[in-house]
A and B are shown apart, each in its own frame.
Chain A
Amino acid sequence: MKKVVVLGGGVGGTIVANIVSRRLKKDANVTLVDKSGKHIYQPGFVYVAFGDEQIHNIIRDEGSLLNKDCKLIIKEATKIDPKDRKVVLDDGQSLDYDYLVIATGSRIVPEEVKGLKEGAHHFYDAEAAEKLRQALIAFAGGKVVVGVGGVPYKCPPAPAEAACQLDYYFKKRGIRDKVQIEFLSPLPRVFPLEAVNPFVTKIFEEKEVAYHTFFNVDYVDPEAKKVYSLEGESVDYDLLILVPPHRGAKVIEESGLGDRGGWIPTDKYTLQAKGFDDVYVVGDATDIPISKAGATAHYEAKIAANNIITQITGAGSLKHYDGKVRCFCDAGFKKGISLSFDYTHPPKPPSNLSLSAYLGKVILNKMYWLTIPSGRF
C-alpha cells in the first residue's frame, strides 16, 4: 500500500483525496490533513457581504465531503520535509508518505499594508464578510472605494465583481444617487485579463463606477480616510473595501519550500513540485502564473490525481495541465459573464452581460457541494 498524504481540505485537496482513494482502494492509503476540518465555498463570501447568503450555508465539515476510504486528520502541518518524505503536525506527530499533495492554499496578510487592517473592509474571510455586511447596512451615502491592496490575490475578477455588486446593492436600496463608487486598479487597466478589459470598462461606465488605474496601494490613513498609492496619488473614501495581499501558507514558508511570496515552484504541466517527482502542488499554493481561483484548483486536482495514480500503478502516462480556468462573474441585476481560458487561449471577450452566465453562477453556488468536491465532475 502506498501512502498518499494530502495537505489542505479546500477544493483542490479534497478532489485529489477523493479521486485517489476511490480509484486505488487496494493500492493506496489516503490521509488528508486540514487545520480546521471545515470546507468553505469561498465564492460565497461576497454574497455574505451583500446580505444574499449566510455563512452557515457556505461552510461544511470536511469529513462529510471525503469518501469513507480517506482518513481525515484535523491538525495543522508545521513542517514538510520532502527529502525524508515526511510531514510533521502541530502535535509532534510525523506522517511518512510515498506521495504528497500540497493544497495549502493562500493566506491573507492585511498587516503587510500599513493602515489596511484598521481602515479597510474586505470579503476574504467569514468574519470580514460579516463585518462588511454590517458596514454596508449602516452606509447611508458617500464614497465607497473598492480595489486591490496587494498582488497576487485570489479570484482576480472579485474586486470588479464587488464594484458591480455595490451598484446593484445601492440601487436596490434606492440610494444609488447618494453613493459614489470608485475602483482602484494596480494595472494600467481595470480588469486583469486584457482581452476582457474593454468590456468591463464599458460596464463600469454604464454603472457609473469611476476608476483609477496604476493605483498600487502604499498605505491607508484610517483617520484621514485616505488611501495612498505607490505612484504618488491619494483617494478619499467614506467606506474602503480592499482585497488584502496574499501569501502562501506558513508551513510552506517555514519549510523553505516557497519563493519570496511563499508560493511553491511547480511544473506548470505535470503539477509536480520542481525537484520532487513525488510531491504535487495544486491550487493557490503553486507559483504558476495563472489565476488563483477555485476553478484552477478544481482542474489541477484532476490532473494531479491522475498523475499520482499513474505513478503508483505504473499504467498510463502523466497528463499535462493545460492551464484551463473557467469562472462566472455576477454583475448584479441577474446578469453576468463567464470566462474560459488556458495557457495558450486567452479568454474571448463577451459581447454582453447575459442571464445564462448569471445562472451558471447560481447553479454553481447551489450545486457545488453535490458535485465539485467529489471529483466526479
Chain B
Amino acid sequence: MVEVKINRTVDARGSFCPGPLMELIRAVKEAQVGEVIEVLSSDQGSKRDIPLWVSKAGHILLNVNDNGGYTSFIVRKAK
C-alpha cells in the first residue's frame, strides 16, 4: 500500500454517534482540498454513517482500518 500523508488526525474515540461523524465533518470543513484527514472512532454507528457521508459529500474514503476496539477512517477532501 502506498503511504498516505495524513494532514490531521481527529481522535473521536469515546464519543457516541453522531459525535465522530460530526468531528469528521468539522475537520473536512476546515481542511484544504487534497488534504487527508484521519478520524478514529470507537462507535459502531460510524462504520455505517462515515462512509455514507463521505460518498454523499463527494470526498474520497481512502481506507478503513479495524484496530480492535476502534476504527480509523482516512478521508481525502476532494472538493
Instruction: Point out residues on A near B: beta carbons under 8 Å.
Output: 151-152, 186-188, 192, 194, 214, 216, 218, 230-232, 268, 289-290
Contacts and interface: CB of A to CB of B under 8 A. Distances in A.
B16 A230 contact: no
Interface string B38-70: 000000010001001100111000000000000
Given A289-B15, A289-B19, A230 B52 contact: no
B contact face: mostly helix, strand, loop, or mixed: helix
A152 B79 CA distance: 24
Given A151-B22, A152-B22, A231 B56 contact: yes
Contact of A214 (B16, B29, B57, B79): B57
Contacts, number: 41
A232 B58 contact: yes
Nearest to B29: A230
Interface of B: 14-19, 21-22, 25-26, 28-29, 45, 49, 52-53, 56-58, 79
A194 B22 contact: no
A186 B22 contact: yes
Contacts of A230: 25, 28-29, 57
A104 B1 CA distance: 47
Nearest to B22: A151
15 contacts: A151-B18, A186-B18, A186-B22, A187-B18, A188-B53, A194-B17, A194-B45, A214-B53, A216-B29, A230-B28, A231-B57, A231-B58, A289-B14, A289-B15, A289-B16
Nearest to A287: B15
